[in-house]
Amino acid sequence: MLTDKKPSAEEWEGEPEDEKQHFFQEELYIHAKLCIVDDKYVICGSSNINDRSQLGFHDSELSIVLHDKDEIDTEMDGKPYKAARLAHELRSNLWREHLGLLPPQTLDAKDDPNAQPPSEHSRNDTLPGPEADFVSDPLSSKLWDEWTERATTNTEVFRSLFHADPDNNIKTFEDYDSFTPNPKADKDHKQGHLYDKVRPVAEIRAELDRVKGHLVWMQLEFLENAELAERGLQVNSFTESVYT
């Protein structure tokens, strides 16, 4: 978040070693899908961009296409551009969230315009300022540099502290067992908790200070050498249509 407060400054009243049990990470699976095209069109819903969701005789899915005719003046790749207000503001706020450029929210939402019931004249608080200007042009080279650097830093921290998976270091299921200990075989290790329990708390806190936003790199080499679907009774030319 956009704040000066860091994990290293948080108070801990117990023994320093006991705090290690409370450092952990979890992977959230967000099922909703969102596609924003050229800051003009928004596709939002549960359907995937594949035959299983799109043909109409597999899964039952629902998506909506939004095209806001309320245009605003902005820039695209450094050139003047007419963007749809809804698509542009939605994409900008999401990117600020991913980059850790949104201010923390108060628990009291009675005066927050984003928490009010929608009406004909309701308007979200777009939180104008330098951070909004920074993400306004999605093709800005400075924005792209920050985007990739942030993903790299966050990925490094989660790999270092938690051996978070999936990870490109896991090419096979044997790699999986060595990279992330199986809690069933290693009773002292809890899934998602610190990998190295000997690491000093001050060092752990300093590493967590480096995390901002949500961005991490997609691990495209994860299990690339593993046989994930052996052909047989369950996977063959007749059953493949069910899964695609």
State percent of the chain over pLDDT 90.
52
Phi/psi at 43 (5° precision):
-115, 120
In order, the DSSP letters of the chain are: --SS--GGGS---S-HHHHGGG-B--------EEEEETTTEEEEES--SSHHHHSSSSS---EEEEE---EEEEEETTEEEEEEHHHHHHHHHHHHHHHT-SPPPPS--TT-GGGSPP-TT-------SHHHHHTTSTT-HHHHHHHHHHHHHHHHHHHHHH--SS-TT--SHHHHHHHS--TTT-TT--TTB-S-TTS-HHHHHHHHTT--SS-----TTTTTTS-----SSSSSTTTHHHH-
Q: Which domain holds residue 130?
A: 25-105+121-243
Q: Is the pLDDT of residue 105 over 80?
A: no
Average pLDDT over residues 30-46: 91
Reported as a pLDDT band with limits 50, 70 and 90, residue 28 is confident
User: Strand 63-67 relative to strand 33-37: parallel, antiparallel, unpaired?
Assistant: unpaired
Reported as a pLDDT band with limits 50, 70 and 90, residue 135 is very high
At 80 the pLDDT is 98
Q: Nearest-5° angle of CA 186, CA 25, CA 94? A: 155
pLDDT in tens, 147-204: 999 999 999 999 999 999 999 999 999 998 889 877 777 777 888 889 888 899 999 9
Residue 113 lies in a domain: no
Contacts of 88 (CB under 8 A, 6+ apart): 39, 72, 74, 136
Residue 9 lies in a domain: no
Any idea which of 53-57, 74-78, 79-83 has the lowest mean pLDDT? 53-57
Residue 11 lies in a domain: no
- What is the domain count for the chain? 1
Cα–Cα distance measured from residue 68 to residue 42, given in angstroms and rounded to the nearest whole number: 9
At 55 the pLDDT is 76
At 242 the pLDDT is 64
pTM of the model: 0.84
Residue 17 lies in a domain: no
Residue 111 lies in a domain: no
Reported as a pLDDT band with limits 50, 70 and 90, residue 122 is low
Residue 185 lies in a domain: yes
Q: What is the mean pLDDT of the chain?
A: 87
Terminal Cα distance for the chain, rounded: 38
Average pLDDT over residues 134-143: 97
